[in-house]
A and B are shown apart, each in its own frame.
Chain A
Amino acid sequence: MAADRADSFRSARGGYAVDATKEEDVPQQEMRLQFTLELPRDAALVRDARRTLDGALAGAGVAQDCRDDIRLALTEACGNVVSHASLASNYHIEVTVDESECVIEVTDDGGGFDPGLVAAVAAEEPATEPVRLRENGRGLHVLAAVVERLDVVSVEDTGTLVRFSKHLTWDPSGRE
């Protein structure tokens, strides 16, 4: 059913483009949602960013399970900025949604860190008791577990870009 939904999404837009031009070789137009949130590095606003993104995805018809993963991923990325990028006063979130995936970039100028340490954390299995029971440092591990691709680019003394993408599944009941 998810595939049907994506197809109807595509044909509605593509059909319009073909009818309007009567040219069969016109590339099909796909719906694309793109927005940027600029926000101060304030813990209280992470919730607002999460709700804004979730509202947009709900309106577009993204399935609940998929939206749950995306809001968790966004929260973890923002949580890292709020908790660790202490030099940054602001950061921004760029969201691009097409019919197949949602790509989110969270960028701060908070000084960056050693990317080698991040890679180790993200790949780590919480297999041993002391690791499992640490009180912080779980954000990227959680993020990596709920998205298909995660890239972390951090430049020491500059800032950090966290980019992740999530394959979208669509609510079979369609848009509300």
Chain B
Amino acid sequence: MQVTSTVDGPIAVVAASGELDVATAPELRAYLHKLIDDGASTLVIDLSDVGFLDSTTLGVLISAHKRLTESDGVVELVIPHARLLRIFQITGLDRVFTIHESPAETAVQ
């Protein structure tokens, strides 16, 4: 997993890539929560270059979502591939997160 971010005021755009699973979840969790600690209220998480994502990673995304919605913040996801969207559909999380097909549709643009 590689994860980078660009912060512009309260908006943080996070780009993750590689394979996200039980091994990378603690690092991703720490990374996202640090951005929130530092004042981000909108997290745009771009998963375009993620080749694999498991249920442990869903838990990490939910933890960020729950923390931000408590303070009127939001998590937006960019998921262009049907194969990555599948796990969100199985778990009903496609109805919880705001999901975009491309970065151009997010709050940033």
Contacts and interface: CB of A to CB of B under 8 A. Distances in A.
B6 to A, nearest CB: 26
B43 to A, nearest CB: 16
Interface string B84-100: 00110011110110000
Contact of A72 (B54, B59, B66): B54
A47 interface: yes
Nearest to A75: B54
A145 B93 CA distance: 14
Tier of interface size on chain B = 20 to 34
Binding site secondary structure of chain B: helix
Contact of A46 (B21, B55, B65, B95): B21
Given A135-B62, A136-B59, A47 B96 contact: no
Contact of A83 (B56, B90, B91, B96): B56
A108 to B, nearest CB: 14
Contact of A76 (B54, B63, B96): B54
A43 interface: yes
Nearest to A45: B23
Interface string A135-168: 1101101100110000000000000000000000
